[in-house]
Amino acid sequence: MKKMVYVLLAVLLVFPFARGQETVVEKTIFLHAGKIGLGLDGITGSTNLLMKYFLNNQLALQLIAGLDLDQPGGDAPSGTSKETGMTLRGGLSLLYHLTQSQVSPYVGVEGIFQYDKPGGFLTVVPDPINTVMASGVLGGEYFINERFTVGIKHNLGVTIQLKRDVPKENSNLKFDTSTLMTGRFYFN
């Protein structure tokens, strides 16, 4: 019995290191050229609709659209007016995917134009605010399969609030960062 325990222990210690040949690991390559994806970013905040088109296996063009509505409930108190607010976003990204594997990191640039009309119960209705956001993008997508991805992207850039018609307000420049979760479905 004692010999069998020693032999079993020896086999268990030697077995993980004893290989007759190297194992071949197959790496799945996802070909992206011509793929069209529809998805969302900012899942935890103000959501944007994304449409991504791969120009080739690594370079992608992405259209961005977003809309937020602010409609206050109830009647306006005396001396105020009830205004429905709206934020409308539209933009474009150019993204370069570094790999074609299941985890696909990317870098790129992004530009978004935003129109913001404040809403609520207001005594004086302000002019809408126009903003341009330009940023560098660093992110990655995890391909669950050929059709579904989840990802994260980080933007580092500037937000330029354009001059409004009110003479007291000039253009503002702000450096900002953001981190967004993404989800996407690819059609082909």
- Name 87's Cβ contacts closer than 8 Å, sequence gap at least 6: 46, 66, 67, 68, 70, 114, 115, 116, 117
The pLDDT value recorded for residue 95 is 96
pLDDT at residue 105 tops 90: yes
What is the longest distance spanned by two Cα atoms in the chain? 96
**Residue 145 and residue 170 in contact, taking contact as beta carbons nearer than 8 Å:** no
Which residue's structure tokens are 């980080």? Answer: 154
Q: CATH number of the domain at 25-186, please?
A: 2.40.160.20
Kindly report the three-state secondary structure assignment for every residue of 86-99.
EEEEEEEEEEEECC
Strand stretches in 47-171, DSSP E: 48-54, 59-70, 81-83, 85-97, 103-117, 120-122, 129-143, 148-161
Tell me the domain boundaries of the chain.
25-186
Q: Is the pLDDT of residue 127 over 60?
A: yes
27-31, 52-56, 170-174, 178-182: segment of lowest average pLDDT: 27-31
Quote the pLDDT of residue 59: 93
Answer yes or no: pTM beyond 0.85: no
Q: Is the pLDDT of residue 166 over 60?
A: no
Average pLDDT along the chain: 83
Structure tokens at 108: 């790129």
